[in-house]
Amino acid sequence: MYCVKCGVELEDGVKKCPLCETPVPQLDDLEKISYESEYPKININFYELRMKKIKKTIFLSFFSISIIPILEVFFQNMIMYHKMKWAYYTIPSILIFDLFLFILLDSYRMRTNLFISFFGLSSYFLILDYGNKVLTWSLKLGIPIVVAFTVIGLIFSFVWDKHKSDKLKILNFFIFFVGIFLLVLEFIISRKMTWSIFSSIPLFILNILLRYSYKSYREEFKRRLHL
């Protein structure tokens, strides 16, 4: 080791330079010093950025194309009837298609997509139902079904966040929630449960079988199905 100031060779263990009395830095102190690079390291996922750009381009392309039929049916109705007739139903249908395409292509979380779907479908049903100037089926059937789907979807989203690495468990919960939704759906439509019970019971049985067989043969499932 040499003195950092005058360069004289030092003996091991000395704390000061015998020539200029400059303190000798200890190796233990040097190990504690952390050095930062001149430029911070930034991890950029170029594949994800590229996919977002592609999805955005696809959506904008479809949305731009959909403007043509919207304008066409609008002006057709204005020229032929001087008011909105069947275009009143066609235009919202095209827009709801664009909305679901946006949901399908975006990178939002499941809960955000559920809320977007809820407001989009609720508005769509209200617009369609108000075509005869009276709200009937949208308030009794359409929106309650959308609410039920959104609530069940929100519960499933929390299950997804907790078990998303376990695909078989996610499938198991998905089958269970489909059975629940069928029961709620028939109750909203007819205020009773008949066909939904016969539809849901096999799903619940399958759910139970998958649950217990997965517990017993978890490693085998993962090895066979590459999960």
Counting Cβ atoms within 10 Å, is residue 136 exposed (0-12), middle (13-18) or buried (19+)?
A: exposed
| Lookup result for tokens 């997509």 | 113
Mean pLDDT in consecutive groups of 10 residues from the start of the chain, 227 residues: 75 78 69 52 69 87 93 92 89 93 83 92 93 88 95 93 83 92 94 92 90 70 59
Single pTM value for the model? 0.69
Instruction: Look up tokens 């629940």; give the residue.
Output: 180
Determine the angle formed by the axes of helices 143-163 and 167-190, rounding to 10 degrees. Answer: 170
Residue 16, beta-bridge partner list:
23
Q: What is the mean pLDDT of the chain?
A: 84
pLDDT for res 119? 95
Q: What is the per-residue pLDDT for 205?
A: 93
Q: What pLDDT is recorded for position 41? A: 58
Closest CA to 70 of 98, 47, 49, 50: 98
Q: How far is CA 24 from CA 3, 30, 61, 126, in A?
A: 7, 11, 69, 81
Q: Is 153 helix (H, G, I), strand (E, B) or coil?
A: helix
The pLDDT of residue 39 is: 54
Asked if 189 and 195 count as a contact pair (C-beta separation under 8 A), the reply is no
Intra-chain end-to-end CA distance of the chain, in Å:
57
pLDDT tens readout for residues 87-120? 999 999 999 999 999 988 876 788 999 999 999 9
Residue 105, pLDDT score: 86
**Tell me, what's the pLDDT at 199?**
92
